[in-house]
């Protein structure tokens, strides 16, 4: 599964116009990705240019049980820096985040969170989410 969920409101997204960095901090390691706007969408799952979309397309695995269509909360991440440069969450995203363990004010769904590239973004992958930030093949 992948692409856009037709049953939810469309997120208002501003795509980046210049390169920026996403730093993903997992429980065991940190990965830094240089985002090239020309490569968006990086792969199929998640909104184009979302944290999930860029990470998966760069070979960094983040859990995404529903395929990146805002229908689960397994891609829950905490945006520690650069949250202001990301699109506003939709009501559907807030609904899913309500289900996410340990969700707080900086929580987002990685598949719905699209930074606009005006600043670098630091993202924490929650420790209680096992199996995250492992290199792809």
Residues that bind ligand FES (CB under 6 A): 64-66, 68, 70-72, 74-75, 96, 109, 111
Question: What are the structure tokens assigned to 126, written together?
Answer: 């929650």
Residue 38 contacts by C-beta under 8 Å, 6 or more apart in sequence? none
**Residue with smaller CB distance to ligand FES, 64 or 117:** 64
Question: What are the structure tokens assigned to 109, written together?
Answer: 């769904």
Report in angstroms how near the CB of residue 131 gets to ligand FES at its nearest: 13
**Residue with smaller CB distance to ligand FES, 103 or 111:** 111
Report in angstroms how near the CB of residue 74 gets to ligand FES at its nearest: 6
In the numeric block, the tokens 């983040």 are attached to 62
Report in angstroms how near the CB of residue 70 gets to ligand FES at its nearest: 5
**Residue with smaller CB distance to ligand FES, 15 or 71:** 71
Q: How far apart are the first and last CA of the chain?
A: 20
From residue 56, alpha-carbon distances to 34, 42, 52, 62 in Å are 13, 8, 6, 7
């Amino acid at each position: 599964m992948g692409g856009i969920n037709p049953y939810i409101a469309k997120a208002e997204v501003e795509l980046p116009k210049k390169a920026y960095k996403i730093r993903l901090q997992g429980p065991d390691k940190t990965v830094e990705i240089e985002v090239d706007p020309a490569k968006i969408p990086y792969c199929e799952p998640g909104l184009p240019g979302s944290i999930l979309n860029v990470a998966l397309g760069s070979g960094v695995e983040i859990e995404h049980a529903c395929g990146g269509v805002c229908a689960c909360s397994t891609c829950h991440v905490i945006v520690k820096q650069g949250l202001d440069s990301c699109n506003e969450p939709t009501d559907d995203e807030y609904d899913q985040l309500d289900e996410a363990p340990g969700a707080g004010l900086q929580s987002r769904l990685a598949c719905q969170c699209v930074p606009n590239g005006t600043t670098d973004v630091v993202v924490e992958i929650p420790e209680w989410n096992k199996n995250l930030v492992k290199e792809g093949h």
